[in-house]
Amino acid sequence: MVRRTGKGHRGTIALLVVLLSLLFGAVPASAGDDAPQSAPVIRDWIVALRPATGGAADALRAAVGDAALSPVPHVPGAYVARFAGATAASDGVARLLAHPAVQYVEPDLRLSYAWVPNDPLLPQQGWAHTVGLPAAWSLTTGSPATVVAVVDSGVHAAHPDLAGKVLDGFNFLSNTGDVTDDVGHGTAVAAIVAARGNDGVGIAGAAMDVRILPVKVGDGSGAPVSAIAAGIRYAVDRGASVINLSLGADSESATLHQQIQYAYSRNVPVIAAAGNDPNRASFPASYQEPISVGAASPDGTAVAEFSSRLSRVDLTAPGVAVLSASWEEGSGDIWQPVYGTSFAAPIVAGTVALMRSVNPALPIEAIRAALTGTARQTYPAGTLGGGAGLLDAGAAVRQALLPALARTWQAADQPVAALAAQRTWLWGPAAFAVGAEPYVETPHGERLVAYFDKARMEITDPHGDSTSPWYVTTGLLATELISGRLQVGHAAFEQRAPANIPVAGDPDDATGPRYATFAGLLRTPPLPAGAVITQTVDQAGHLGADARLASYGVTAADYIPETGHRVANVFADYLRSEGLVLRDGQYRRGPLFDPPYYATGYPITEAYWTQAKVAGQVRDVLVQCFERRCLTYTPSNPAGWQVEMGNVGRHYYQWRTGSLPPAGAAPENPVRLASGPQ
């Protein structure tokens, strides 16, 4: 017989879940409107001084002009600058960023509660906050197409927190379809995984929108190996996305191991509880194939006293006072705290279900690597029974989405990174920031974004068709920088000042055009087809002409009726160009842009020559802004680098956050995940 790894039921817990995320004021506007919509302007900005810059506050007062500057109480070196309006704020922030004493500048945004379900017992679900589930829920709460098999004592399907979520299963003790839970253990496990959320009832499960496949293999006396083995096989063959095993014994079983290997061979992850005896190893958790989960304290800062120190453990989740739904004879439907690695495992199983909801084919070892690689080291490294650390559900779900970003990056930029192609980057060498940003048309108000030097990638619908070329999109960054309309929804905008950031050339170029320069040029009529481009623009937006520039032979080519502009021939040729790309794991020759305007959008300005400082020297540079990026043509550059994507990703990050982007790749898992074809 195999014992369940849960412990007895005890009292209640009361940990308030406080969930904060940045609030960006979304103001509805028609997608086709040209005039900026009224919206709150960010006038208050936090200015942080570099350490050991005594006396710099007086210099700052000169930099901010008429703005009110006041220190932040109890925060040394921090001030709040309040500007009179959008223009003053834009100019003042630019001056502050250039000030040698300033470490960073950021908007003094008001914080708001992130999306949370309205279940009345959620404030008592400290375990959800401890493992960062709200950050995962902002991206996904799971998909009904994702099924978690609970191989356990059965499930009380009529419980108010599970009603309508439990599929027809099987009872391997009686060989019937009666999966009634006469113990309550399996019901508590199932509720931790998938209790229905945001319904005003009880608790919210880790993956509140997935479904449960009940597989009854045990009763009050335990569960025989033969039933568990049959239950695992049944769950795999029924199409389970994840299997939870909150049971174990201190002896091995070849029969059980074979069926776990069967699940592994079919890419069905098995999540196993590590066991409740600190002095014994538990199986199946100690086999190599399952993802083994130990129990942590309610706040995740220690391994629970009872959790096995001898089992193989991948990571931990709270296993003490885990509030869940359950059922007891004589009491009926209840909610109460439960204890044991039995109830740590389904927290991880629910997180894996979230990962599988956004990436159904994610390999088991990629899931394990994501879980352990993002686990937080909240107790000393090397703690027996602690594995890689405490589950971070939000980070793990983000990891599950990264392969889609990586595939988009790899097509054009993997050959460049591998030195197989000599040309400019389409995106950049790696993402320098990965996280969530508010967006109206998402399941719960946020979408995953990744910033590269030359763009930003976005996944707005994580449950969409990941094979579609539009599953990963790139925002209208150049449009936003030029217009000052920060987009927070399909037709929702926050009005800011146009970006006072150089479009082309070096970041410290003092003379070239800014994004704000082009705000007054969006309606300039197109040149005639084939006209040689000699028109110029300066930083103030004044247009001119220089006959000398005709020698470069750049002409007005394709007319784009959607925006009423012509594309310069050097840019049109670039967007239609072919080269070495990575497709389906193989290098081959193909189009760099498919479809042609996927990465840039349509042109929103004409092409203009300007003088910009490039690599420290003032040079002739042709600039044309498209919806998503601004392209540059520098004739003095070597072949392969004459046409380039501007660094709009870095520029937009600076404009949106008020902080200069980091110089290197993101510390949390750059999106450059592959080294070449397999």
Enzyme catalytic residues = 152, 185, 342
Q: How far apart are CA 417 and CA 412, in angstroms?
A: 9
Q: Which residues pair with 249 in a beta bridge?
A: 283
**Positive or negative, the Cα torsion across 521, 526, 530, 531?**
negative
Q: Is the distance from CB of 191 to CB of 161 less than 8 angstroms?
A: yes
Q: Is the distance from CB of 492 to CB of 476 less than 8 angstroms?
A: no
Q: Nearest to residue 566, comparing CAs of 613, 533, 609, 537? A: 533
Identity of the amino acid at 502: P
Q: How far apart are CA 590 and CA 609, in angstroms?
A: 30
Q: Is the distance from CB of 497 to CB of 516 less than 8 angstroms?
A: yes
Sequence-ordered alpha helix ranges (H) in 31-184: 56-63, 86-98, 126-130, 133-137
Structure tokens that stand for 560 in this block: 């784009």
Q: Is the distance from CB of 422 to CB of 640 less than 8 angstroms?
A: yes
68-71 β-sheet, strand order:
68-71, 78-82, 44-49, 102-107
- DSSP class of 72: P
Reduced to 3 states (helix: H, G, I; strand: E, B; else coil), residue 611 is: strand
Tokens 């990965």 belong to 434
CA distances from 433 to 32, 285, 458, 603, 657 (A): 30, 35, 12, 27, 12
**Positive or negative, the Cα torsion across 203, 205, 210, 211?**
negative
Helix (H) or strand (E) holding 437: strand 433-438
Helix (H) or strand (E) holding 482: helix 477-483
Q: Is the distance from CB of 518 to CB of 625 less than 8 angstroms?
A: yes
Q: How far apart are CA 377 and CA 501, in angstroms?
A: 39
Residues for the chain: how many in total? 678
Tokens 């950021």 belong to 106
Q: How far apart are CA 503 and CA 497, in angstroms?
A: 15
Q: Nearest to residue 276, comparing CAs of 67, 8, 462? A: 8
Q: How far apart are CA 503 and CA 521, in angstroms?
A: 14
